[in-house]
């Protein structure tokens, strides 16, 4: 019998079970009001469109190729559809600049694998997407705090990376309605980041998983679009790597996402995928293209309409029920509101109490910090609860928090 734990010690020291995983199980308990899972509401899935898509595939001559092995870069009509769709937001690229992944989580894993050697530095926002930390952790980097207001010099980043034993390899961020804060980087912040990336000569990984979910305010061009524009329209001269997903707009269960980048990046990703899982599901790529090309915009309009009302309900309930010394973000889109409580309040302890006495779930915020700091924060998702449940859940949570904060009680 092998001593597996000892064998895996080096490789897996950075792996940790996601706290979110445990929290997702709460969704199955009908008496819990859950603001925990950052997942789409299954009631909004375009099932009829997917039913037609699979049915059409099996009624056509395409069935043999839909069930067969396919190329690692992805199904060409889908890559063509994506290239046309992103052109609308200023990303001028060819279908060859588009690489299909098994969800945008796979893009993060592959990009971590491609860029990071142990001790290299990844710049991330503080907080950042928990799944990005999990993906990058496998490649043993250090993390440094990405500042989007330009108040850190390139030298400061270089010095911190050198102290960690490597160099800065990329800056990762979610530019629109980020997970976990719901915040959006404004145009000036995007331009400053491009400037910083130029000075550090590093790549920018732009995670656009929530890009289509804007409820109000004016759209800001993706960093990728700004990068293309400053390079005379030539994507081959850019340093941004853009990742997107159909998980929040169509359905996550098919596992279809994508990366858009200059050809040298795409070529490496194709080789990597060939060695790692050959290709993403052929039939699912065909089904996604089928549904997207027949009604993507209508589906996006439908989910925007529902989620925006839930966001409004959550913000209105917070205004009514949250104590004054708590603060929270006011996102223009996405699925999340980010709450900051007075220091000293621990989100994990609060969650335990909240589930026991109030039957309300959320995600404690410290999991989203590369250094596990800021225990006084909470991620609240409004995507899967009705407006009435949101009102009731925030009312209960506000009461609990008010009792937990002596000054506000």
By CB under 8 A, what part of segment 209-238 binds a second copy?
A: 231, 236-238
Closest approach, Cβ 408 to a second copy, in A, equals: 36
Q: What is the CA radius of gyration of the chain?
A: 22
Closest approach, Cβ 157 to a second copy, in A, equals: 16
- Element of type H or E holding 105: helix 103-115
Closest approach, Cβ 276 to a second copy, in A, equals: 4
3-class DSSP state of 238: coil
Two tokens, residue 117: 């050697």
Choose, by CB under 8 A, the member of 89, 219, 276, 402 that binds a second copy. 276
**In 3-state terms, the chain is what percent helix, strand and coil (to 5)?**
50, 15, 35
In Å, how far from its chain's centre is CA 154?
26
Restricted to residues 155-174, the positions that interact with a second copy (CB under 8 A) are: 169
Restricted to residues 240-259, the positions that interact with a second copy (CB under 8 A) are: 247, 251-255
Q: Does residue 138 belong to the site contacting a second copy (CB under 8 A)? A: yes
Of the ranges 11-19, 87-95, 209-217, 315-323, which one interacts with a second copy (CB under 8 A)?
11-19
3-class DSSP state of 251: coil
Restricted to residues 33-92, the positions that interact with a second copy (CB under 8 A) are: 39-40, 42-43, 45, 47, 50-51, 54-55, 58, 63-70, 72
Burial per residue of 87-121, b for 16 or more beta-carbon CB atoms within 10 angstroms, e otherwise: eeebbebebebbbbbbbbbbbbbbbbbbbbeeebb
Choose, by CB under 8 A, the member of 127, 131, 189, 244 that binds a second copy. 131
Which lies closer to a second copy via its Cβ, residue 16 or residue 187?
Answer: 16
Q: Are strands 33-34 and 360-361 parallel, antiparallel or unpaired?
A: parallel
Q: Does residue 320 belong to the site contacting a second copy (CB under 8 A)? A: no
Q: Does residue 96 belong to the site contacting a second copy (CB under 8 A)? A: no
Q: How many residues bind a second copy (CB under 8 A)?
A: 82
Which lies closer to a second copy via its Cβ, residue 48 or residue 188?
Answer: 48
Q: Among residues 24, 41, 64, which one has the least CA distance to residue 385?
A: 41
Let me know: does 405 contact 396? Beta carbons within 8 Å: no
Which lies closer to a second copy via its Cβ, residue 9 or residue 162?
Answer: 9
Two tokens, residue 156: 């400061």
Residue 54 CB contacts under 8 Å (≥ 6 apart), including other chains: 283, 287
- Element of type H or E holding 347: helix 347-353
Q: Does residue 9 belong to the site contacting a second copy (CB under 8 A)? A: no
Let me know: does 234 contact 228? Beta carbons within 8 Å: yes
Restricted to residues 329-368, the positions that interact with a second copy (CB under 8 A) are: none
Q: Does residue 1 belong to the site contacting a second copy (CB under 8 A)? A: yes
Let me know: does 210 contact 178? Beta carbons within 8 Å: yes
Let me know: does 182 contact 218? Beta carbons within 8 Å: no
Which lies closer to a second copy via its Cβ, residue 67 or residue 388?
Answer: 67
Which lies closer to a second copy via its Cβ, residue 57 or residue 317?
Answer: 57
Two tokens, residue 282: 């052929």
Which lies closer to a second copy via its Cβ, residue 238 or residue 340?
Answer: 238
Which lies closer to a second copy via its Cβ, residue 106 or residue 354?
Answer: 106
Closest approach, Cβ 197 to a second copy, in A, equals: 9
Label residue 221 exposed, middle or buried (CB < 10 Å: 0-12, 13-18, 19+): middle
Closest approach, Cβ 401 to a second copy, in A, equals: 29
Of the ranges 178-186, 208-216, 263-271, 400-408, which one interacts with a second copy (CB under 8 A)?
263-271
DSSP strands (E only) in 98-230: 98-101, 121-124, 142-145, 168-174, 203-207
**Site map for a second copy, 280-319, x if CB under 8 A?**
xxxxx-----------------------------------
Choose, by CB under 8 A, the member of 145, 158, 268, 396 that binds a second copy. 268
Restricted to residues 100-129, the positions that interact with a second copy (CB under 8 A) are: 101-103, 105-106, 109, 113-115, 117
């Amino acid at each position: 019998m092998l001593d597996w734990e000892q064998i895996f010690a080096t490789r897996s020291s950075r792996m940790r079970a996601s706290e979110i995983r445990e929290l997702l199980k709460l969704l199955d308990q009908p008496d819990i009001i859950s603001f925990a899972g950052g997942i789409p509401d299954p009631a909004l899935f375009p099932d009829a469109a997917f039913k037609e898509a699979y049915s059409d595939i099996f009624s056509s001559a395409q069935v043999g190729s839909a069930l067969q092995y396919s190329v690692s870069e992805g199904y060409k009509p889908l890559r063509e559809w994506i290239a046309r769709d992103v052109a609308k937001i200023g990303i001028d690229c060819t279908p060859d600049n588009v690489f299909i992944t098994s969800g945008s989580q796979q893009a993060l894993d592959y990009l971590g694998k491609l860029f990071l050697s142990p001790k290299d530095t990844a710049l991330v926002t503080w907080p950042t997407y928990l799944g990005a930390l999990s993906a990058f952790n496998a490649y043993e980097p250090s993390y440094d705090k990405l500042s989007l207001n330009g108040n850190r010099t390139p030298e400061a980043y270089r010095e911190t990376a050198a102290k960690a034993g490597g160099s800065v390899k990329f800056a990762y961020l979610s530019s629109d309605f980020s997970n976990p804060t719901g915040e959006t980087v404004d145009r000036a912040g995007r331009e400053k980041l491009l400037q910083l990336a130029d000075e550090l000569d590093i790549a920018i990984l732009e995670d656009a998983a929530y890009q289509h979910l804007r409820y109000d305010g004016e759209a800001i061009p993706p960093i990728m679009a700004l990068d293309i524009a400053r390079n005379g329209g030539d994507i081959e001269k850019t340093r941004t790597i853009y990742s997107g997903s159909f998980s929040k707009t169509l359905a996550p269960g098919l596992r279809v996402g994508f990366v858009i980048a200059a050809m040298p990046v795409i070529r490496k990703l194709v080789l990597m995928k060939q060695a790692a899982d050959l290709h993403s599901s052929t039939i699912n790529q065909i089904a996604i293209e089928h549904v997207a090309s027949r009604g993507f915009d209508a589906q996006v309009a439908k989910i925007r309409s529902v989620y925006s009302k839930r966001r409004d309900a959550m913000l209105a309930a917070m205004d009514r029920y949250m104590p004054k010394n708590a603060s929270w973000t006011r996102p223009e889109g996405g699925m999340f509101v980010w709450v900051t409580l007075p220091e000293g309040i621990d989100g994990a302890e609060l969650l335990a109490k909240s589930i026991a006495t109030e039957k309300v779930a959320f995600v404690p915020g410290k999991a989203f910090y590369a250094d596990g700091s800021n225990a006084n924060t909470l991620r609240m998702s409004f995507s899967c609860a009705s407006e009435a449940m949101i009102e009731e859940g925030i009312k209960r949570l506000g009461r609990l928090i008010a009792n937990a904060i002596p000054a506000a009680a």
